[in-house]
Chains A and B, each alone.
Chain A
């Protein structure tokens, strides 16, 4: 309990016959960045709304920072910052005025509001436009202001829904850097995204969503090990006697499987065996053309997992 910031058990949400979230179990520990990943419509936003008490779960239990969002929504919302997808602001107000309103709603004492708002805006580097109308803001600026909006209340847990959606790669990267720096300050962060490769690098742990269920969860390398067979996939191209190459490579320590397709050899291994593999190929009389290790991409894990699920169904 002590370092669990968020705990959900058997969380379910039904809309009529449609099951949006299906018996979800979720734990988030203090100080980690958790990624709720999956395609659009998989139930990510519904899950987030239930965690905040903005939608009542059909069944199941949630505890956020020790509070029940359905029964103690004010305590939860005072401590949790939520950044919705496509965050909106009052266009006729300035950035400062927009945030002051939020600060007031949070009951921040009047004499602290100015300081807190300026600090939050400084944090997302928007100080130079603090008194500009938000109607003039670009997509990236709005997104950053959305983060400032969350920071005003100094939350213990930050929940972001699709924070990088609609941002170009550079802006997205910049935004992820911001999130990363928040983690460095010890904030607990949960974010949802359907852009797996973007958030992969900043998430400590991820949960993969599909049709309302969290089908996989763990660190990226754990998932890779679970789904891709080995955590490392090494590709090498070499000329030489195929059977002999296969034999020496399979004998290497840590290698799970070797697939040979013409001159391309694919090795699945528990560790990075590139050096050993190169040595083995040359000793076996092969001529090494290229050698590379595939990065463990969440996209691969996701696609691969669903290929397997589909295959299982077909069989």
Chain B
């Protein structure tokens, strides 16, 4: 508002809004994602796992008996040989997010459309932001649809509508899932700004993903004793050692997401990590109310969002400084 009333600009001030053209970029990106073959394959994959795991879960859930949080158990119930849907989500969400954005910037570069785009009256901000938001909104749409699908199947098979508590928990879990995707999307976008080849960017993102899935726990076990206490002789040292280990595991977005999953979908879980029997003394074996569960995962959720923003900011800085010369 202040800008428009000022007749003369100072030399340091940039002209116009950095968001000019954001809508156009956003619309195009979403249209690309939603009509692209890539997205179709990914959607099919997620829908198949969703339907498959939900049906096996339904076989395990007998309506009537212990009918608390039936809908949440749809997400978490596993039956051999199929793991629960949340397990698939932890693996698939990063892949989908990476697949949506590993070629967002270098793809434009390689198609030689980047210089043509930047010759239009828009800032690079709008282009990068539009691409990121386009991807994130696509993720949101896809997962919202899947959540609705799961609840739909649930209503058909269980016969009882979900309670507001269940709906609330599912929505918080959806939010966590979207930002869990957001992290990986921002990471893939960062690599797509750094590497000129889309294949390299994809590979680098997958490498980070594989590292956190397969190796992070090993790394934690190797590193934790080095920075924790030398010898564990007292209870305090045990607590310190286990806390060090937990802090390290929480560097991985997978751990953060697993924490959110546990607390949101299993309301009887009230603690994360190391708990002393003393702390459980006189605790009532009852599910936590939603607001309390949200409090427990609040650090994890904000952590996911903060990491997403941080990674995005980094690619933003790199993209602003990039020479667009072919």
A88 touches B15 (CB 8 A): no
A84 touches B120 (CB 8 A): no
Closest to B17 in A: A74
Partner of A105, one of B21, B36, B112: B21
Q: Which of B28-73 contact A (CB under 8 A)?
A: 28, 32, 36
Contacts of B116 in A (CB 8 A): 82-84, 87-88, 102, 146, 149
Give B contacts to A, CB under 8 Å: 9, 11, 14-16, 20-21, 23-25, 27-28, 32, 36, 111-113, 115-123, 323-326
Interface flags, A69-104, vs B, CB<8A=1, else 0: 001111101101111111111111000000001101
Contacts of B36 in A (CB 8 A): 92
Q: How far is the CA of A73 from the CA of B16 in the complex (A)?
A: 9
Contacts of B120 in A (CB 8 A): 77, 102, 105-106, 153
Interface residues of A, dominant DSSP: mixed
Contacts of A102 in B (CB 8 A): 116, 120
Give A contacts to B, CB under 8 Å: 45-46, 49, 52, 54-55, 71-75, 77-78, 80-92, 101-102, 104-107, 146, 149, 153
A84 touches B112 (CB 8 A): yes
Contacts of B23 in A (CB 8 A): 104
Asked, given contacts A55-B323, A84-B119, whether A105 binds B15 with beta carbons under 8 Å apart, the answer is no
Contacts of A104 in B (CB 8 A): 21, 23-24, 27-28
The 6 A-B residue pairs with the shortest CB-CB distance, nearest first, are: A88-B112, A104-B24, A82-B119, A78-B121, A105-B120, A77-B121
Shortest C-beta distance, B324 to chain A (Å), equals 6
Q: How far is the CA of A104 from the CA of B121 in the complex (A)?
A: 10
10 additional contacts (CB under 8 A) given A54-B115, A54-B324, A107-B21: A71-B9, A73-B15, A74-B15, A74-B121, A84-B112, A87-B116, A89-B113, A92-B36, A104-B23, A107-B20
Q: How far is the CA of A1 from the CA of B112 in the complex (A)?
A: 35
Specify which of B20, B23, B113, B324 lies most central, judged by the most chain A CB atoms within 10 Å of its CB. B113
Closest to B111 in A: A88
Q: How far is the CA of A77 from the CA of B124 in the complex (A)?
A: 13
Contacts of B123 in A (CB 8 A): 73-74
Shortest C-beta distance, A191 to chain B (Å), equals 15
Q: How far is the CA of A52 from the CA of B122 in the complex (A)?
A: 12
Closest to B117 in A: A105
Asked, given contacts A86-B112, A90-B113, whether A75 binds B15 with beta carbons under 8 Å apart, the answer is yes
A74 touches B16 (CB 8 A): yes
Closest to A55 in B: B323
13 contacts between A and B (CB under 8 A): A49-B324, A49-B325, A52-B119, A54-B115, A71-B9, A73-B123, A74-B123, A80-B119, A82-B119, A84-B119, A84-B326, A88-B112, A88-B116
Asked, given contacts A77-B121, A88-B111, A90-B113, whether A101 binds B28 with beta carbons under 8 Å apart, the answer is yes
A106 touches B325 (CB 8 A): no
Shortest C-beta distance, A234 to chain B (Å), equals 45
B121 touches A45 (CB 8 A): no
Q: How far is the CA of A49 from the CA of B24 in the complex (A)?
A: 24
Q: How far is the CA of A72 from the CA of B12 in the complex (A)?
A: 11
Closest to B113 in A: A88
B324 touches A101 (CB 8 A): no
Shortest C-beta distance, A205 to chain B (Å), equals 24
Shortest C-beta distance, A155 to chain B (Å), equals 10
Shortest C-beta distance, A291 to chain B (Å), equals 48
Contacts of B118 in A (CB 8 A): 54
Q: How far is the CA of A78 from the CA of B27 in the complex (A)?
A: 21
Q: How far is the CA of A78 from the CA of B323 in the complex (A)?
A: 21
Contacts of A153 in B (CB 8 A): 120
Q: How far is the CA of A45 from the CA of B112 in the complex (A)?
A: 15
Shortest C-beta distance, A104 to chain B (Å), equals 4
Closest to B11 in A: A71
Closest to B36 in A: A92
Partner of B121, one of A49, A83, A88, A105: A105
Contacts of B11 in A (CB 8 A): 71
B112 touches A87 (CB 8 A): yes
Contacts of B115 in A (CB 8 A): 54, 82, 84
Contacts of A90 in B (CB 8 A): 111, 113
